[in-house]
Amino acid sequence: MQVKAREFSFDVVIDGPADGVPVLLLHGFPQDHREFDLIRPKLHAAGLRTIAYDQRGYAPGARPADPAAYTPLEAATDAVAIMDTLGVPAFHLIGHDWGAVVSWLVTALHPERVRTLTAVSVPHPAAMAKALADDESQREQFGYQAMLAAPDGEDSVRADDFAWFRRALAPIGDRAEQYIDAMRDPGRLTGAVNWYRALRVGDWAELPAVTVPTTFVWSDSDLAIGATAAHLCADWVSGDYRFVALSGVSHWIPEEAPGALLDAALARITPEG
């Protein structure tokens, strides 16, 4: 379905029991709402109603031309506006990769809207900023972002029939092709890399701690997020906090280890009802 929020139109998929407790799912790069397809049915079976949408840049109706419009704050404002349009005052929140960054902002800035947070792969942005400032290995792990943010970032991604994407997404096997096919749309690819062009990590350092019950799920074979950043996350959560570390799993947790993510999410969500 199409949901109008702010000046945009977003592609939104809502499923699960009509009276179920709402769970908002926020995807990352280079995926879209489908990255949660392997956990959504079991969330529904647990009595939860899921709301997943393609974020700005990914949805055709939400592609502003200015790269500066792709900050996490703008995306967080989108999320709240979409839930306002849907008439959902409070919800559980699960976000992966960029979706995790947006989830942290929504939770920090609008704690009254978020029942619980399950952040996947990317820690609290202030923890990420500190790790990038202090840890050379984390800076090296983030090196790919300069390629994406460059003026020719789209060309680098498209080279050799999206070979870079295929290498990066290898852990999720055939599921990668649906995202590569989607990125053949030039507008979608530019929208996706614009998130990196708008990235200002220094802005993250001032984001306040989150106060709601929070689970952070990280994997020790993540090539983008190292242990320093992961372990710093606890310093920016003042509510009940759980850290779940998965062994031998790459960055793509929702599709490579959906069972483990589901267990962590339901352990956090179910007691809240």
pLDDT along the chain (273 residues), means of 10: 96 96 98 98 96 98 97 97 98 98 98 98 97 95 95 97 96 98 98 97 89 98 97 97 98 98 94 49
Pairing label, strands 114-120, 2-5: unpaired
Give the domains, in start order, of the chain with CATH numbers.
Answer: 2-272 (3.40.50.1820)
In whole angstroms, how large is the CA radius of gyration of the chain? 17
Whole-number pLDDT of residue 172: 98
Report field, pTM of the whole predicted structure over 0.75: yes
Give the dihedral sign, CA 20/219/252/29. positive
Whole-number pLDDT of residue 273: 47
Whole-number pLDDT of residue 148: 97
Whole-number pLDDT of residue 201: 85
